[in-house]
Amino acid sequence: MTNYVYIATSLDGFIATIQGDLDWLNEIPNPENSDFGFSEFMQSIDAIVMGRKTFEKVLTFGVWPYDKPVFVLSSGKISIPKDFDSKVKTITGTPIKIVEQLNVLGHENLYIDGGVTIQGFLEEDLIDEMIITRVPILLGDGIPLFGKLTKRLYFHHKKTEFLSDNLVKSYYVRIRE
């Protein structure tokens, strides 16, 4: 069982603007129309766990980017469009309870997405691997990838790739005692 983070950040560590916009990601030169390894990554996971705000943002993309089950964290009621009934389910609970529930359903390799969701899983030490792509832009403010932690979490740097002469993609694995 592995819980992954796969995400892009600005140089100053933000995953979105303060309003939740991702438009700055569209400014990345991509002459080959590459997904920068996202589809290969998706082949290794069983399900996606994301926060409500991330889900709402993904709905604005126009094209549903996932062919895996998506579980949206929310303590309140969320509206899931009818077209997504078979693709998206809501889930509640602490990160550890969510992982346990999804493991029982056979989902062992989880993609964790969304700022608050990632931070919650990190706080409970439930992130095993992180793939972080740095985009050469300073946003100055926004939604941070990382938040405060009550203890230090150590990761081993596996490798770094340079993509499209603009992006730096680094792979990290959690060091467990």
Q: Tell me the CATH number at 93.
A: 3.40.430.10
The pLDDT tens digits of the residues spanning 80-89 come to: 888 888 899 9
Which domain covers residue 149, as residue numbers?
2-174
Structural domains of the chain, count: 1
Alpha helices in the chain (DSSP H): 38-42, 52-59, 95-104, 115-123
Digit-coded pLDDT (tens) for 94-127 = 999 999 999 999 999 999 999 999 999 999 999 9
Q: Are 127 and 5 in contact (CB under 8 A)?
A: yes
The answer to whether 112 and 102 are in contact (CB under 8 A) is no
| β-strands 47-51, 155-163 pairing | unpaired
Interval 48-73: pLDDT, tens: 999 999 999 998 888 888 999 999 99
How far apart (Å, rounded) are the C-alpha atoms in residues 115 and 43?
23
Q: Do 131 and 3 meet the contact criterion of CB atoms below 8 Å apart?
A: no
How far is 130 from 144, CA to CA, in rounded Å?
A: 15
Percent of the chain's residues with pLDDT above 90: 75
In whole angstroms, what is the distance from residue 173 CA to residue 69 CA?
24
Parallel, antiparallel, or unpaired: how do β-strands 167-174 and 47-51 relate? Answer: unpaired
User: What pTM, to 2 d.p., does this model score?
Assistant: 0.93
